[in-house]
Structure 1
């Protein structure tokens, strides 16, 4: 596939995500695909997820722990088998009630029309902060964190 076709495929993956079509994303992922993000013991969907089942686990954990308020891919750059997507997102962290606004970058590797790797880069400090439990005396119902 050409770089332009790879870019169009990644754009299609984002449309599927926005529509909640996780099975569609999995169908466009290779059997041995990898989803990799910085690891934190506080963030249940962080780290390395391998294979279609691993990707399914990632999306399940993401949905269980965060509610998307806004998820917007803004720019795409493609060269060879790589596609870089940049965007912004706003999430509600279900366990703390905090809102997290963060830019993100995803670096995809596409082979034979399938996603084989995604390296996800986000504002990890703000993400971890949004998941930190507050002591009961200091807890506020909603704390907004911005990048």
Structure 2
């Protein structure tokens, strides 16, 4: 597939995520998709595999994190790799703490399907927002 087609697949992937179109999203990803979210001490960190892993992390994201994207992301592509560059703001629902996250998604597209997603995010900002405030506890 062409670089332009790969960018369109990634744009469609982000649109499906944004509109909670689960079937449309699954149609765009390979059955053995791998999504790596770095970090620890925050709800979404880990490696998520396959359609079941993708559905689980998206459900968890919806339940645990409120996120907005104040600006449209930038798409940079070469061959089967598409980098998506953006910023997210939001809060972790359990702590009600806000975060600002400058991020890059490195996405691989093969045979018309998203096969790998690797996030590069501000893990410290997200972990800090996920920390419970223990100072108010006895």
Please report how far the alpha carbon of residue 102 of structure 1 lies from its aligned counterpart in structure 2 after TM superposition.
1.1
Aligned residues: 137
- On the 8 A contact 1:38/1:124 being kept in 2, the answer is yes
Per-residue CA shift, 1:33-69, capped at 9, x if unaligned?
Answer: 10001131x2221110011111111101111110123
Give the TM-score normalised by structure 2: 0.92
Q: Please, what TM-score do these two structures have when normalized by structure 1?
A: 0.87
Separation of aligned partners in 1, 2:53 and 2:106? 18
Measured in 2, the distance between the counterparts of 1:32 and 1:72 equals 31
Helix, strand or coil for the counterpart of 1:95?
A: coil
2:36 — aligned with what? 36
Counterparts in 2 of 1:72 and 1:35: CA distance versus 1, 3 Å = farther
Classify the secondary structure of the residue corresponding to 2:73.
strand
Instruction: Show structure 2 runs of 5+ residues with no match.
Output: none
Secondary structure of the residue that 2:69 maps to in structure 1? strand
Q: Does 1:87 align with 2:86?
A: yes
Partner of residue 75, structure 1: 74
Q: Which residue of 2 aligns with 1:144?
A: none
Question: After the TM superposition, which of the residue ranges 11-20 and 82-91 deviates more from structure 2?
Answer: 11-20
- Work out the CA distance in 2 between the residues paired with 1:100 and 1:93: 8
2:100 is the alignment partner of 1:101: yes
Cα distance in 2 for partners of 1:90, 1:105 equals: 14
